[in-house]
Homo-oligomer: A and B are copies of this chain.
């Protein structure tokens, strides 16, 4: 599929020649071409090649074969292949292989044909044979979507014996591979050939349904089922759908094939480059193409959804979109697209680049305008899988949530508490930022306290609401973290207005902005350094936490606040801050006459904090690894700046993946391991979590499981992903252990057998001995 350039001629140019002949003859499909027409086409192709390659197409078949082989090898390093591997995190391969087989032809007439089928529905997961075929056609014609193929069940009407045979093969292959199969076949003069079978790609809903149903059918066990679903792909289940009410009132433009589920709402663009550019500029876009090709991958990745005029459920657009978890409506044949003019016409309506449309990838409907979206409904199979995951996993799963809305979403998705509440997010709200700015501009402690006292009731209310939503589960509150300049205006034009609002001169505001300017704010005056220079901030935040907790307790409900001090690098920083926290706790408990069970802990995000974790553990009841900052400081990569060289680092293979996406286990992970090894002897029951963005990345979660963290904390939509990934980590560990045990058992057995029998042994004796050994080690050995 990737080697679509023959002797310098691109696929689309061959297509133009073909189309021209078809247009002259006013025919629609390839198979309507006569021998004379085909001669014309071949002549056109040859001329094209001569023009581009400067030589004739070779007539020697050996030369043709060699060129074909070289073309495949060459395709390994073209841009599209590289992009494909990057998007799919495929690394470390040496190259591609070439199989050479004699060809069977599906285009030898009406008793020949070709098709692609799945043993179950790859979109929904339904256990029903599913696929497409075309008679008198080659495989390429089905997947390229040039002719719209027939449904596989219709093959029964055309060629019943081939269909029956396919049905038998479907069962055979699935029982053998114990997984859903993607099968390609060709019929040459009524004889069925299976060209290929492989585990079928599927949507996340299909993966979940397959996994759960295969357990119920007894085909696989629950642990295998858990491993069958790519945890990251669950986001396809969790994403929004078009609102049904909105759909009722909306104008349906057309209906295509429901090629990849979910919803997409955005502005139309007509090529991949525009999709990429618009998306980078913050616009949500829908990529509209006659058909997609591998060059479009980057653009598809940048879009909310993909709409194509041609191609079926197994077309390029459909397959790639499902892999990406993007909504896709394919084969929408009444679309007339003018890619050059950047317009499209559909049932009399003319749309231009930038017009808004909405796609429903589960029904194939295309709507005019921007429709509302609704939260996903989590199906029964999903619930079952999550239940198995929860029973299997050892890691807790919490969420990073700063608002009631986030907390509610996360709670619904099964979060077991809040692992990170970034209190500064509460400061940015328009009604509050004024008080924050007053605090920053205060000249004296007294003025600062006055400004802080305005923030106190707001923060208390925020915490009260989070505590309520979390119903007694732990809520980790991180105290103020960002450098203060983030709260002041950056642009000249706002300074006058804001100065007026704050009742200070613009000069004073400007000079404060200048005073707070830092060359490397990431390494500047932030985190606990703020609480140390302005202890009154820590006092206010502590008071807000404990007063909110008191309120909850007085309502007869439970609450476990966990106060977390950010950016700690040295034990004395932590003790400075904890002294304030404990003092305020005592005060509030006395004032409110309640007894609050609370915990204090610290972020481990400064390398120095990690390597002196023994000293921090003496005071901290929990650590939460802030792997974003730990990556920044540990690797010396500014998150805001490093993209330009990190991209090249990944291309060069210096880093396999972006260390801000998936944890750099060798480096940053080593810092975590050092911290744990130092902390555990000092406080064996210390709670260990992670709250960087890595907390929702399956590979990182597996690592966190291995190094013995207590929980991961991630954004609400990643909570189900984390639950599944944590379960997968537990299953994999169990498997590793079992393998290890097995290896050890074999090793021991061999030595015992040698001792008993010397160098030769009768097989029957050996088996008896084997049974004895296995049973003695607590195993079962059936001799049936």
Known: A520-B521, A607-B607, A654-B572. A532 touches B636 (CB 8 A): no
Is A654 within 8 A of B573, CB to CB?
A: yes
Residues of chain B contacted by A632 (CB below 8 angstroms)? 520, 523
Residue of B nearest to A648 (CB): B533
Residues of chain B contacted by A655 (CB below 8 angstroms)? 570, 572
Is B611 within 8 A of A671, CB to CB?
A: yes
Bits for A643-654, please: 1 = Cβ < 8 Å to B, else 0. 011001100111
Q: Chain B nearest CB: distance from A54 CB in Å?
A: 27
Is A636 within 8 A of B633, CB to CB?
A: yes
Is A519 within 8 A of B641, CB to CB?
A: yes
Interfacial residues of chain A within 527-544, with CB under 8 A of chain B in the complex: 529, 532-533
Bits for A662-677, please: 1 = Cβ < 8 Å to B, else 0. 0010111011001000
A773 at the interface (CB under 8 A from B): no
Is A635 within 8 A of B611, CB to CB?
A: no
Residue of B nearest to A666 (CB): B612
A436 at the interface (CB under 8 A from B): no
* Chain A, interface residues (CB within 8 Å), range: 35 or more
Bits for A614-640, please: 1 = Cβ < 8 Å to B, else 0. 000000000000000100111111101
A576 at the interface (CB under 8 A from B): yes
Residue of B nearest to A608 (CB): B667
Bits for A560-578, please: 1 = Cβ < 8 Å to B, else 0. 0000000101101100100
Is A569 within 8 A of B638, CB to CB?
A: no
A657 at the interface (CB under 8 A from B): no
Residue of B nearest to A649 (CB): B532
Residue of B nearest to A653 (CB): B572
Q: Chain B nearest CB: distance from A282 CB in Å?
A: 19
Is A667 within 8 A of B533, CB to CB?
A: no
From DSSP, what is the main secondary structure of chain A's interface residues?
helix
Is A645 within 8 A of B533, CB to CB?
A: yes
Is B519 within 8 A of A637, CB to CB?
A: no
A379 at the interface (CB under 8 A from B): no
A8 at the interface (CB under 8 A from B): no
Residue of B nearest to A527 (CB): B636
Is B520 within 8 A of A611, CB to CB?
A: no
Is B654 within 8 A of A523, CB to CB?
A: no
Residue of B570, B636, B652, B671 near A523 (CB, 8 A) is B636
Residues of chain B contacted by A607 (CB below 8 angstroms)? 607, 633-636, 671
Residues of chain B contacted by A606 (CB below 8 angstroms)? 634-636
A524 at the interface (CB under 8 A from B): yes
A16 at the interface (CB under 8 A from B): no
Is B642 within 8 A of A523, CB to CB?
A: yes
Is B611 within 8 A of A670, CB to CB?
A: yes
Cα distance, A522 to B633, chains bound together (Å): 10
Bits for A698-727, please: 1 = Cβ < 8 Å to B, else 0. 000000000000000000000000000000
Known: A518-B638, A524-B638, A612-B667. 10 other contacts (CB 8 A): A520-B520, A520-B638, A522-B638, A523-B637, A572-B655, A576-B652, A606-B635, A606-B636, A607-B635, A611-B634
A-B contact pairs, 7 of them (CB 8 A): A520-B640, A525-B641, A569-B635, A572-B655, A608-B671, A611-B670, A612-B667
